[in-house]
Amino acid sequence: MSSRANQSALLIAVAALAVIAIVLFRPPAGAPSGSASPTGGASATASSSTAASASAEELRPVRLLLGFQPDVQFAPFYLAQQAGYFRDAGLEVTIEYSDDVLRLVADGQAELGVADATDVMIGRTSGIPIKYVATLYEHFPVALIGSPDAVPDDPSGLAGMRIGTPGRFGSSWHALVALLDAGGLTPDDVTIREYPQFNQVEGLLNGDVDLITGFLANEPLRLQAQGFETELLTVDHFAPLPGPGLVAGDGLLASDPDLVNAVASAVVQAQEEIGRDPQRGVDAAVTEVPAIGEDRATATAVLEATIDAWDPPVSGGVVRDVWDAGYQTLRRLGFIDGSVPVEDMYDLRVMGIVDPL
Amino acid sequence: MDATRMKRIAAGLVSLATFLVLWKLLTVATGTPSYILPAPEVVGERAARAIGSGILWEHLWATLSEVVLGFSLGAAAAVFVGVALGKSVVIERVLSPYIVAAQAVPVLALAPLLDIWFGGGLFARVLVVALIVFFPIAIATMVGIRSADPRLREMLRSLGASPAQVTTQLEIPSALPVIFGGLRVGVTLSVIGAVVAEWAGASVGLGVLINIADQGLFDTPLMFVALAALAVIGLAFYSLVVFVERQLVHPT
């Protein structure tokens, strides 16, 4: 009896192992892989109607994803919403926040979002059907920050320094590695200290590191508020990288490019107005997020630094030369393998090209 | 191998096979792209590449070190403090508010502070793991110590046993089932503690790998590989605690 039970159990175990092997291991080459192709597969939620032609009663719902949390740096989106630029274009825009913009937009769970161009390059290469459609920041907004005597004039002077950064991912890491590369260095030539909670400012103030990576409109202002004199080493002069912008999924770009254009145009219009009158942007941000009004002076300083990174007058166009340079840099550094050409990473139909001066 | 043991293994394999089949069916039925929910064979293939390239071992080893060191430190301290709490009402009244308050503060909020205070090295991460495992083990030990039969305690004292002998010969042995209950909870928490610690500051570890895969490479299958590795660590250590418990509490 015991022997028969043992045999049954053995048979069941073998059958279960066979099922596990079949499910877990990919069939031989040639069979469908199930992974997404870079050029398709996004489930677009867009209808075929064009946004601009919609009547006031037929506003097209649009979900727009901004990064992480509400911030005065998103003032153009708040102004476009409050001033009715989206509504005039036939859009009922809902602004939300997420730290996973690329995948949600590519999957059609949101129509558009804001993302780093360098992340678009990496995401697109890894199979996420997403494209960059409009430039928001003409200057890469991340720099190396430190005291004036610590920041070298040239990236080659970074050798041997202790540098704090949130982690080995994202625009801060891309900027740091690109700068090191421009100086003929690698991350092994410096001491990297990671601050995943974005508390690298405390690390710099403590003296744990010599330099930190940070956003032009954030860390330098926080340091200056504590009486710490700052100097910046920006990537623009040494290793140009394209800045953050609007992104949309392949599905929506195929089915309703006019909608994408309508959102981008409304945001660029608001950016232009804030560039001329930053207080309009601060007002819009305070209306959207009343807590920002608790320290209006800081909010104004942050927005002014942000506007510098936009570099008005803005057009939203793709700065193709910088994209080409950034693409080559990321490829050389191993972030991308070059399997997806740079032209497949942005869509020039939406806001066009910005020619270098 | 006896039939009971074979049945247990078969049940485990059937459970795993069912889970994988349901997962596969979900991906097929919903048509979800692999950057949102990869199919099991995509994760399997990614795991093979991560193992082959060595990237998984590097991060796995770091997390494993933090779990082992943190759990050992936290469990040892918790058993020591738990015995003291169980034996002395005064000590319990003095220490309990601090222990409960420390438990009420989320480790997620505390980890960045420990990282800054201790220079962001392995010790800071081990401390985070030790902190997260401390509470359930200390409380289980206290309860276990107090659950010793008072008549046996009285008998040992009447036979001239010292307080240390009462503790080692009666209270700790009779508390073992409860202490192991705390250890079972603590060992699973230790894996969570290691990831929290790595998210507060580390350059290597499965928590770091999750961040890199998620925000640096947009490699969802690699995230699943890291999550599976964490689950395997948790299961392995839990099984080890259960095995030791069987040897000590219910030896056959």
Mean pLDDT of successive 10-residue stretches along chain A, which has 357 residues:
68 79 62 36 34 61 88 94 96 91 94 96 96 95 96 96 93 95 96 88 92 94 91 92 96 95 95 96 93 88 94 89 95 95 92 66
pLDDT of amino acid A45: 31
Would you say A130 and A120 are in contact if contact means Cβ atoms under 8 Å apart? yes
> Would you say how long chain B is, in residues?
252
Smallest Cα distance from A278 to chain B, Å: 32
Q: Which residue of A has its CA nearest to B6?
A: A9
User: Which long-range contacts does B235-241 make (Cβ < 8 Å, 24+ apart)?
Assistant: B237/B67, B237/B71, B237/B187, B237/B188, B237/B190, B237/B191, B238/B184, B238/B187, B238/B188, B240/B187, B241/B180, B241/B183, B241/B184, B241/B187
The mean of the pLDDT values for chain B is 92
- Say whether residue A187 is in contact with chain B using an 8 A CB cutoff: no
The answer to whether A167 contacts B41, with C-beta atoms less than 8 Å apart, is no
Q: Does A23 touch chain B (CB under 8 A)?
A: yes
pLDDT computed for residue B1 by the predictor: 64
pLDDT at A67: 79
Question: Which residues of chain A are within 8 Å of residue B43 when distances are taken between CB atoms?
Answer: 24
pTM attached to this predicted model: 0.79
Question: ipTM score of the complex?
Answer: 0.70
**Measured between beta carbons, which residues in chain B are less than 8 angstroms from residue A177?**
none
B26 touches chain A (CB under 8 A): no
B207 CA: distance to closest CA in chain A (Å): 11
Q: Report the candidate in A97, A76, A95, A107 with the shortest Cα–Cα distance to residue A303.
A: A76
Regarding beta strands A60-67 and A91-98, do their DSSP bridges make them parallel or antiparallel, or are they unpaired? parallel
- To test the contact with chain A by mutation, choose from B35, B43, B53, B211 the residue with the greatest count of A C-beta atoms within 10 A, namely B35
Per residue in B137-173, pLDDT (tens digit) is 999 999 999 999 989 988 998 998 888 899 999 999 9
Q: Which B positions 208-237 lie with beta carbon below 8 A of chain A?
A: 208, 211-212, 214-221
Contact A23 B21 (CB under 8 A): yes
Q: How does DSSP classify residue A90?
A: T
- Tell me which residues of chain A, numbers 89 to 108, contact chain B at a CB-CB cutoff of 8 Å: 99-100, 102-103, 106-107
Residue-wise burial string across A153-183, b where 16 or more C-beta atoms lie within 10 A, e elsewhere: eebeebeebbbbbbbbbbbbbbbbbbbbbbb
**Which pLDDT score is estimated for A40?**
33
CB contact under 8 A, B201 and A195: yes
In degrees and rounded to multiples of 5, residue A160 shows phi and psi of 80, -5
Q: In terms of CA atoms, which chain A residue is nearest residue B202?
A: A194
Q: How many CB atoms lie within 10 A of CB A66?
A: 20
Cα A225–Cα A229–Cα A234 angle in degrees, nearest 5: 105
Which of A329, A336, A327 is CA-nearest to residue A181? A329
Interface residue B202 vs chain A (CB under 8 A): yes
CA distance A347 to B6: 59
Q: What residue type is A187 in one-letter code? A: P
How many interchain CB pairs under 8 A, A with B?
A: 148
Instruction: Report the side by side order of strands in the sheet with A191-194.
Output: A191-194, A162-165, A211-215, A142-146, A231-234
Contact across the interface for B1 and A6, Cβ inside 8 Å: yes
- Of residues B9 and A42, more confidence is placed in B9
What is the pLDDT, as a whole number, of residue A274?
Answer: 97
**pLDDT on residue A78:** 96
Please check whether residue B10 touches A, CB under 8 A: yes
- Which tens digit of pLDDT belongs to each residue from B90-106? 999 999 999 888 888 88
Provide, as residue numbers in chain A, all residues whose Cβ is less than 8 Å from the Cβ of B220: 103
Three-state secondary-structure class, residue A195: coil
Q: For residue A160, give how far its alpha carbon lies from the nearest alpha carbon of chain B (Å).
A: 18
Chain B: residue whose CA lies nearest to A9: B7
Q: Which residue of A has its CA nearest to B211?
A: A169
Chain B contact present for A349, CB below 8 A: no
Model confidence at B131, pLDDT cuts 50, 70, 90, reads very high
Query: Tokens at residue A22, please?
Result: 């079949």
Cβ-defined contact of A36 to B33 (cutoff 8 Å): yes
Strands of the sheet containing A60-67, edge to edge, are: A91-98, A60-67, A112-115, A245-249, A130-135
Q: Which two tokens stand for residue B118?
A: 């201790």
